[in-house]
Structure 1
Amino acid sequence: MPESKRDMRHSSVEDRTDWAKVDAHVIQPEEYDDAPDLSDVAPETGDFHIGDRLVRPRMGRPPLAGRTEEVTLHLDADVIARYRASGPGWQSRMNAALREALDRDATS
């Protein structure tokens, strides 16, 4: 692989951006339709209001209804492989299967 391609593969998008071209761009009238409507944003603070109410963005994942606990658990490799192969959400499905087994044991 040529050195320049190797460098690009490891450089960030920031490093590859032609900022002179970005700065020189003049927005054309047809591009205004693509721009977001910022009429509800106070430009001096960046605050967003709906009516008189200040709306704050939520950061991160939404809180879960029940608390979970991170643990280190040793399981057979084939069990992990089968759950991972089922795609995203495999840990939640594994948790559901464990809960189902607990409920089944409690009723027997």
Structure 2
Amino acid sequence: MNDTTKQGKNIAIVSYITIIGSFIAFSMNMDAKNDFAAFHIRQAFGLWISFFALGFLVGHANSIYASMALYLFFIILLLYGFTGALSGKKQPVPLLGKLFQKWLGFI
């Protein structure tokens, strides 16, 4: 694990702890501009935004099964990203991770 990864690891971990954690991690990374932390902030922020957007749509479906599937899908992807941050890896989350890196490049 290189120094950049070690320095950004705590910020990367914070980004997965609620959407508020993503905003806190974003503000913590403003001065340091750590590449590892920025990668995971984009992943976490993208997951949270996707969760709320899909949650809005699923909420209108009024189906408990659709809601449970959304929560399960989100928790699995969040844990995947969180374990990547813990282990010091820059692995995008399945399905949308590469798109988050492209769409949220301003972070």
TMscore range, shorter length: under 0.3
TM-score using structure 1 length? 0.20
More helix by share: 2
Relative contact order (C-alpha < 8 Å, sep 6+): which is higher? 2
TM-score using structure 2 length? 0.20
